[in-house]
A and B are shown apart, each in its own frame.
Chain A
Amino acid sequence: MMIGPDLLNLAIYLPLAAGVLIALLPRAKEHLSGPLALTSSLLAFIPALALYTGFDPALPGMQFAQDLPWLSALGARYTIGLDGISMLMFILTAFLAPIAVLSSFTAVKEHRRFYYASLLALQTGMLGVFAALDLLLFYVFWEAMLIPMYFIIGIWGGRRRIYASVKFFIYTMAGSLLMLAAILWLYFDHQSRTGVYTFALTAYNNSAAGGTGMLLFLAFALAFAVKVPLWPFHTWLPDAHVEAPTAGSIILAGVLLKMGVYGFIRIAVPFFPEAAMTAGWPIAALGAFGVIYGSLTAWAQDDIKKLVAYSSVAHLGIVMVGVLVLEPAAVSGAVLQMVNHGLSTGALFLCVGMLYERRHTRLMADYGGIAKIMPAFAAVFMIVTLSSIGLPGLNGFIGEFLILFGAFKVWPCLALVSLGGVILSAVYMLGMYQKVFFGPVSNTANKELPDLKVREWLCVLPLLALIVWIGVYPNFFLRRIDTAVNDYIRLAGGPRPVFSLAKGEK
């Protein structure tokens, strides 16, 4: 098969097909559901990888594009395609999905068929969001993705899973409805101006200005900000993360949060460049504030998972600064940082899940001295922690560095505030690491914990490899997003003016 739209469709729909198949398995064959899900998500990774290698970084615009009639009466078309940014998100999703599946082999014991079917359906939804180039298609994937996630948290979650899943669902749904309203406004407005009903993304670039543009931008921005999650729309995240099963947390942190940022890049900012130019600073300021705020709240946690969840608020805050500053280096950094956060936070959740499976607690106070009992695990956790802190040589640094350096040229204050997060991230992450891994083994229940097993190594190693790879040779990834980043900045009416460094009066 040629590397083209067929392969793209294959990568998107293969998991869903496998999911349906798994859901239809007879009860007696339930034990096959896990291996089957793993195989299919791995199989779906192959076309995604082929697409990634076949992606031409020099070409502007969308690649592997396909445009078919879909709901002709509405003017909606089945349009898919990838540019550098969505390509990176796409491969990240396809990469994390098998890890998420593999991580749940022992953790999930009930309703396994339905569980893996949900996970695979979720994968299709996420891949679809990144590939969709039609607003209606985007919206359908966006909403469709919510449902399996809702089930995953609500059925296989922790003690307060119902509360968490309903909160997650209503919160995101409220945002989505605003987005739907904005989409419909755009749709009818476009029809009244041109006489054509269409949902094509390209038709709406720079589509409204002035007060209307601002209102519509804010509607989209709110929907995406909830997903990011931008302070103060973040409180669903700790609950959802804490209650979700490990795989759910990995996907949630690794991919779902990226969709908010992706929405800004693909929709909110290019559609309303004028509004984004005006409202960009306040929103980025919320992001920068979230860096400090998320770090402080993370510091105050006793629960490891909650700590990681709040650290996500901080990490995504800095990404928002990078996305809205419209400076090439910063935007590239933000896109890369989305991947980095997916890898390192995904790996963190994976590791916390491994601990939880052994001890059934997530409170730091219940641990201590684990490094002595599980040295390999401690080493893995250390690398992941350092990646999250943004240590140079690992992936986190590259993204943060580019964002800070790019943003500093335009908004020095926000960059400096975000820099505060660099210090604080070390405070809370190393504090957590110390409480869990260092010190004497005080709790006898911890004495006999087994170190990493083969399956767990298989989960962790690909993540570690990428963490190091991106840190050492990020250009492999940066090169592929450069064109798309420039397109984005052009559509957004950027780059923004650089602040004046002219010699002062003194």
Chain B
Amino acid sequence: MEGNFYPLLKWMILPPLAGFVLNGLLGKKFLSERAGGILGSLAVLLSFVFALLSLSDLLNLPAADRLLRDTLFTWISAGPFTVDFALRLDPLSAVMALVVSGVSFLIHVYSIGYMHGDKGFHKYFSYLNFFVFFMLVLVLADNPVLMFVGWEGVGLASYLLIGFWYEDPEKASAGKKAFITNRIGDAGFLAGLMLLAAVMHAGGVYALDFSTLSANAQLAAGASFAGVNAAFLIGVLLFVGATGKSAQFPLYVWLPDAMAGPTPVSALIHAATMVTAGVYMLARMFFLYEAAPAALDVVLVTGCFTAFLAAVIAVAQRDIKKVLAYSTVSQLGFMFMAVGAGAWAAGVFHLTTHAFFKALLFLAAGSVIHGLSGEQDLFKMGGLRKHMRTTFILTATGWLALSGVPPLAGFYSKDLILEKVFTSGAGFVWLTGLLTAALTAYYISRLLILAFMDNYRGREHAHESPAVMTVPMGLLAALSVVGGMAGAAWLLPFLQPGAPPEHHSALMIAISVAAAAAGIIAAFLITGRRIGGGHHAAWCPRSLAAAWPRLHRLVYNKFYVDEIYEALLLKPLARFADWTFRVPDSKVIDGALVNGTARLFMSLGRTLGAAQTGNAQFYAIVFMAGLCLLLAAVLAGYYL
């Protein structure tokens, strides 16, 4: 096997597992709240340290040969089919591992403050560690099957954490919705893997690790299934998996609902790390997409459409977390646009910067919610820049980063994506992306204005969050500021060592900055002007709402996509299941066939029983007639 044997990798995933077990089993009884929180955070910190150590070892290798592997044991082996429990560190997974463990650590620390006093404190940290464990398995997996373990594992963690406050049936339902929607995607992922494995086996390739798959990608390109090119089909099916996990159209509906979980969870799982797994997976499997450019077109168009749709929906939301959730969906769309345009490194770059500023924004939102004792409605906030100064400054950093204002992180990555899309020749997609970038700047500015400007409109007393929450946010803010510059200088060449350096055209930069500026200005004009007017009761979206009431209702209700799914898919399916049980199962199979047979024999018995008159002589006559027949038959044998 190629690559260097590197036993350190397993130590990257083990501390969170240990943290999960310790906090989960012992937490409530033996650990204080502080100890539990520190234990959970330390476990992730340990992973981060190991990730750094591994990275330094990786960097010591020559650029073309940067691959470290750690095979723990043969996991599944049946017939010729073998899957190892093996980990892999290459530039891509190193970046991901660092982002995951780093951001996770910060959010763990933040959570100590945020979850203070919650009944399920230890459970929370054990779940969080559980998530980090599976996320690292996903990232470090050396084969798609093990990756799938992490893939579903993080889904489970997400399910558990969304439904963390399970006593609220709506939150529990949101968890279930997330899990099931993800399952639909996962089925696509599995189908893609099945086809991939079948193609490889047909070509005599039985190992499923990424290096082997990559080396044999032409097998998929040369095969076809049901008349369709296999590589294309695999690409699309895997992308279906990605749409589930990374909340792309049409499976994005679970992510906004997932905001039912604690806000740090939204930051960690539903913004920074888990939801980006789809992008990571596509980047990881990019060798397949190279063999099937048509699949990339699907990715590009879907990403673009999702980015635009989600940005539009975000414009009209009232719930601070919903705005950020749709923003995440939209930004994930950007990442898929990058992958779809063939620039997976740009996608991963945006993934990284997005992890910083979106985590920051979510944590800031969490800080606001925490400070307002649970209020999430933007219309009941306002003026918080006075009450929560630190949070305001941090949010503003995130705002600029997300809007794409140079030189903050978001500008670099988003600009790169738009440029790549443009150079790939997809003009319409580029235009839509540009529009979406403007919308992005608009809705995030709107959020900032509504929450922090003007005067406070709520009733609860607003208070600033403790340092254990603000310090991690500060670190994330710093990363949001410098992440873009550092990434452009260092991350891209690290990810794609052989690639030529980027040539940025000044025109492109100007256009994209102009779009961001337009969005911000529009937000201040539309939302901010109302503030100046002082119509506190007649609040800002009214201006848009008053201009296009129908359109506003449509957007505010998220284009009724949930309702459409409910009416067209879920309800009919549930009713069909019910019908299946009531009619074919109970009535036809059990009623008519099984018990019907029993009834048939019962009535047959009754009918024949009527012949039993009780008259013994009648029986005797019948008996003798039978005897005669028998004799006749025997004699007929002799004489005929």
Q: Residues of A with Cβ closer than 8 Å to B?
A: 167, 170-171, 232, 234-236, 293, 296-297, 299-301, 327-329, 332-333, 369, 371-372, 386, 391-393, 397-398, 401-402, 404-406, 408-409, 412, 415-416, 419-420, 422-423, 426-427, 430-431, 434, 437-441, 473-475, 478-479, 482, 485-486, 498, 501-506
- For B594, the chain A residues whose CB sits under 8 A away are 167, 171, 235-236
The answer to whether A296 touches B198, judged by C-beta atoms less than 8 angstroms apart, is: no
The answer to whether B223 touches A398, judged by C-beta atoms less than 8 angstroms apart, is: no
- For A431, the chain B residues whose CB sits under 8 A away are 176
- For B184, the chain A residues whose CB sits under 8 A away are 423
Considering the complex of A and B, which 7 residue pairs feature the smallest CB-CB distances, nearest first? A328-B79, A332-B78, A300-B581, A438-B172, A504-B224, A392-B149, A235-B590
B169 CB within 8 Å of chain A = yes
- For A419, the chain B residues whose CB sits under 8 A away are 187, 190-191, 194
- For A398, the chain B residues whose CB sits under 8 A away are 76
Report the bound CA distance from A482 to B145 in whole Å.
Answer: 21
Minimum CB distance partner of A389 in chain B: B183
The answer to whether A296 touches B589, judged by C-beta atoms less than 8 angstroms apart, is: no
Interface string of B144-163 (1 = CB under 8 A from A): 01001101110010010001
B166 CB within 8 Å of chain A = yes
Smallest CB–CB gap between A470 and chain B, Å? 11
Minimum CB distance partner of B585 in chain A: A297
Given contacts A332-B79, A501-B202, contact A423 B180 (CB under 8 A): yes
Given contacts A408-B198, A419-B187, A502-B224, contact A296 B148 (CB under 8 A): no
Smallest CB–CB gap between A209 and chain B, Å? 27
The answer to whether A438 touches B76, judged by C-beta atoms less than 8 angstroms apart, is: no
Interface residues of B in 62-78 (CB under 8 A from A): 73-78
Report the bound CA distance from A128 to B192 in whole Å.
Answer: 43
B637 CB within 8 Å of chain A = no
Interface size on B, residues (CB 8 A): 63
The answer to whether B76 touches A437, judged by C-beta atoms less than 8 angstroms apart, is: no
The answer to whether A293 touches B167, judged by C-beta atoms less than 8 angstroms apart, is: no
Report the bound CA distance from A328 to B169 in whole Å.
Answer: 45
Task: Identify which of B176, B187, B585, B593 contacts A423 (C-beta below 8 A).
Answer: B187
13 CB-based A-B contacts, threshold 8 Å: A235-B594, A329-B78, A397-B149, A401-B76, A420-B187, A422-B187, A423-B180, A423-B187, A479-B77, A482-B77, A501-B202, A503-B222, A504-B229
- For A393, the chain B residues whose CB sits under 8 A away are 134, 149, 152-153
B227 CB within 8 Å of chain A = yes
- For B159, the chain A residues whose CB sits under 8 A away are 430
- For B590, the chain A residues whose CB sits under 8 A away are 235
Smallest CB–CB gap between B21 and chain A, Å? 11
Task: Identify which of B176, B224, B582 contacts A501 (C-beta below 8 A).
Answer: B224
Minimum CB distance partner of A431 in chain B: B176
The answer to whether A482 touches B577, judged by C-beta atoms less than 8 angstroms apart, is: no
Report the bound CA distance from A255 to B633 in whole Å.
Answer: 51
- For B186, the chain A residues whose CB sits under 8 A away are 422
B576 CB within 8 Å of chain A = yes
Taking chain B's interface residues, is the majority helix, strand, or loop, or is none over half, making it mixed?
helix
The answer to whether B76 touches A235, judged by C-beta atoms less than 8 angstroms apart, is: no
B201 CB within 8 Å of chain A = yes
Interface residues of B in 223-237 (CB under 8 A from A): 223-225, 227-230
Known: A332-B79, A423-B184, A438-B172. 19 other contacts (CB 8 A): A235-B585, A293-B585, A299-B577, A328-B78, A328-B79, A329-B80, A392-B152, A393-B152, A402-B81, A409-B201, A409-B202, A423-B180, A434-B172, A440-B169, A478-B78, A486-B79, A503-B224, A504-B228, A506-B224
Task: Identify which of A397, A420, A438 contacts B169 (C-beta below 8 A).
Answer: A438
The answer to whether A475 touches B73, judged by C-beta atoms less than 8 angstroms apart, is: yes
Report the bound CA distance from A393 to B75 in whole Å.
Answer: 11
The answer to whether A415 touches B194, judged by C-beta atoms less than 8 angstroms apart, is: yes
- For A501, the chain B residues whose CB sits under 8 A away are 198-199, 202, 223-225, 230
Smallest CB–CB gap between B132 and chain A, Å? 15
- For B201, the chain A residues whose CB sits under 8 A away are 409, 498
- For A391, the chain B residues whose CB sits under 8 A away are 152-153, 156
The answer to whether A426 touches B183, judged by C-beta atoms less than 8 angstroms apart, is: yes
Which residue, A293, A419, A430, has most C-beta atoms of chain B within 10 A? A430
- For B581, the chain A residues whose CB sits under 8 A away are 296-297, 300-301
Interface residues of B in 28-84 (CB under 8 A from A): 73-81
- For A332, the chain B residues whose CB sits under 8 A away are 78-79
Smallest CB–CB gap between A441 and chain B, Å? 8
B118 CB within 8 Å of chain A = no
The answer to whether B167 touches A369, judged by C-beta atoms less than 8 angstroms apart, is: yes
Report the bound CA distance from A397 to B148 in whole Å.
Answer: 11
The answer to whether B172 touches A408, judged by C-beta atoms less than 8 angstroms apart, is: no
- For A438, the chain B residues whose CB sits under 8 A away are 163, 166-167, 169, 172
Which residue, B78, B149, B190, B195, has most C-beta atoms of chain A within 10 A? B78
Interface string of B552-592 (1 = CB under 8 A from A): 00000000000000000000001011101110010001100
B411 CB within 8 Å of chain A = no
Smallest CB–CB gap between B27 and chain A, Å? 12
Smallest CB–CB gap between A406 and chain B, Å? 7
Minimum CB distance partner of A293 in chain B: B580
